[in-house]
Amino acid sequence: RRTMVDMLNYGAAAQVYFKYDQLNLANSCLTEEEKAYATESVTMVDKRVADVNYYGSTLNLGSNIQLSMFFRNITPDMYAIVTFTDHYGHDKTVRIDGSKFKKYKENIYRIYIEEMVIADARQLVTCTVYDDADNAVATATDSIESYIARGNASEPIYEAIVKFADSAYAYFHP
């Protein structure tokens, strides 16, 4: 129940954030009894670690929630290796070809981390960019939780994301 209520609360927060159909919020159908199942509060810690070529991170809010990392001094002829341990404890390694890097502005590219699910929001993700000679040229470790803990928690949508993530994690790990 908690996962469904937190998901509806996240949906409502997203509607308000994006100014979409605010007269018909996703959680408006919840009874007071159902609202009581919601996660009350969450704590967040910023565990980010990065080198000088790291420019920043952001969240992509759409049909799923993705972390993106931005790096200086990388080019589309390079590639990235993304590693993380998913919420089941499985180590994941994903190679992202430089053709998928998105130019953000001069000398800065964005790398989308698409392989995670909401239950992985507190999992640290390391993204290392390599040149064509396999030399590491940029690296950063971040997470959805860390991004929010760095000062974005004041927006209701971001706290709702972490509550939904925690309840999704609890659902898969009773």
Q: What pLDDT, in 10s, does the model give residues 87-121? A: 999 999 999 999 999 999 999 999 999 999 999 99
Q: Is the pLDDT of residue 153 over 90?
A: no
Helices 2-17, 156-172: axis angle to 10 degrees equals 160
Q: What is the pLDDT of residue 173?
A: 92
Q: What pLDDT, in 10s, does the model give residues 53-86?
A: 999 999 999 888 999 999 999 999 999 999 999 9
pTM as predicted: 0.89
| Cβ atoms 119, 87 nearer than 8 A | yes
Break the chain into its structural domains and give their ranges.
2-42+153-172, 49-146
Which residues are CB-neighbours of 153 under 8 A, at least 6 positions away? 44, 159, 162
Rounded Cα gap, residues 47 and 124, in angstroms: 8
Look up the CATH number of domain 49-146.
2.60.40
Strands of 49-50's sheet, edge to edge?
Answer: 49-50, 136-142, 125-130, 79-85, 91-97
Query: Any alpha helices (H) in the chain, and if so which ranges?
Result: 2-17, 32-35, 144-149, 156-172
Distance CA 89, CA 56 (A): 26
> pLDDT at position 8, please?
97
Cβ contact 138:128 at 8 Å: yes
